[in-house]
Amino acid sequence: MALKTNIIFFSMAVLLCSLPQCLPAQNLEQPARFAQLLQRAGVEFMEPLDAGYKDYEPLENQYLNCQYAIRSRSENLEIRYYVLPWNEKDYMASAPNIATFITLTQVATNADDAIISALRPDDQSLRRDFNADWGMTYIFTPKPVFADSPICKMVALCKEGQGTVFVFFLFDDPGNEAIDRREMAVRFR
């Protein structure tokens, strides 16, 4: 009887250990256009494989329509991406400071009492973490037509000759720890 119980227990343990491998992995469907933009700009996209992220189409607006968006209900976080491949003939695509300022003014609220926080990462961390030449991080309240979340963290990164990428983290809780885990959402090759 003890042998039969051990065999059943062992069989159940093997089944439980192999169950995660039988489940389908989370896989987000990137639009072909977004994948092409990433390729042209030399950007690697770090797809979150946990927390139930799903891609979705944000409502169109007159300010900035991101090329790709994902969200997770369990992390209470939405992440949007906008990629601008390098183009010497277009000042928006070859001057990241101008592109970032224009993008910021397009999506941040114009309310009189609004505050925008800006942080310039040091060159060493930009190269180490993102393989970028230039970058800025802003925290602000987005225009309601852009997003209904009260807080947006916009990360702008550029690699000369490749492109500029904007990552928008939209959330409700300023203490949301998922943002720190998801900050390395993109990296230049």
> For 16-71, what is each residue's pLDDT tens digit?
344 333 334 445 677 899 999 999 999 999 888 888 899 988 888 889 999 999 99
HSE-up (13 A, CA, CB side) for residue 81? 29
Average pLDDT over the chain reads 85
pLDDT band at 75 (very low <50, low <70, confident <90, very high): very high
CA distance 89 to 69: 28
Confidence check: pLDDT of 136 > 90: yes
Please tell me the predicted confidence (pLDDT) of residue 37.
94
Please tell me the predicted confidence (pLDDT) of residue 15.
38
Confidence check: pLDDT of 9 > 70: no
Exposed, middle or buried by CB within 10 Å (0-12, 13-18, 19+), for 139? middle
Rounded to the nearest angstrom, the gap between the alpha carbon of residue 9 and the centroid of all alpha carbons in its chain is: 43
Please tell me the predicted confidence (pLDDT) of residue 59.
84
Exposed, middle or buried by CB within 10 Å (0-12, 13-18, 19+), for 119? exposed
- Give the pLDDT mean for 13-18: 39
164 contacts 143 by C-beta, under 8 angstroms: no
Please tell me the predicted confidence (pLDDT) of residue 27.
53
- Give the pLDDT mean for 127-154: 96
